[in-house]
Amino acid sequence: MCLAVPMKVVEIEESTAICEVDGVRREGSLMMLDDVAVGDYVLLHAGFAIEKIDPEEAEKTLEVLREALAAGLAPE
């Protein structure tokens, strides 16, 4: 299964964005998108920003991912 993760763009150098979520930073190519700025949220998949998304939608998605992660790590 493939998963694209919403991440906030914190830095841009040429066509590469440094994206962050929960203190984790990843590089992502911006070659598939136009008009991405620092502070925008993008879906990052396999090293590529594949879509710019609304900040509220990004936060909702991140909350669901955090809940799923917490549920998987909870002791039985």
Where residue 75 falls among pLDDT bands split at 50, 70, 90?
very low
- Give the start-to-end residue ranges of the domains of the chain: 5-73
What percent of the chain stands above pLDDT 90? 76
Check residue 74 and give its pLDDT. Answer: 44
Rounded to two decimals, the pTM is 0.85
- In order of 27, 49, 53, the CA distances from 12 in angstroms are 9, 12, 17
A 10 A CB-CB count for 72 gives 7
Q: Is the pLDDT of residue 68 over 90?
A: no
Q: What is 5-73's CATH number, 1.10.357.10, 3.90.1150.140, 2.30.30.140, 3.40.50.2000? A: 2.30.30.140
Residue 73 pLDDT > 80: no
Q: What is the mean pLDDT of residues 5-33?
A: 96
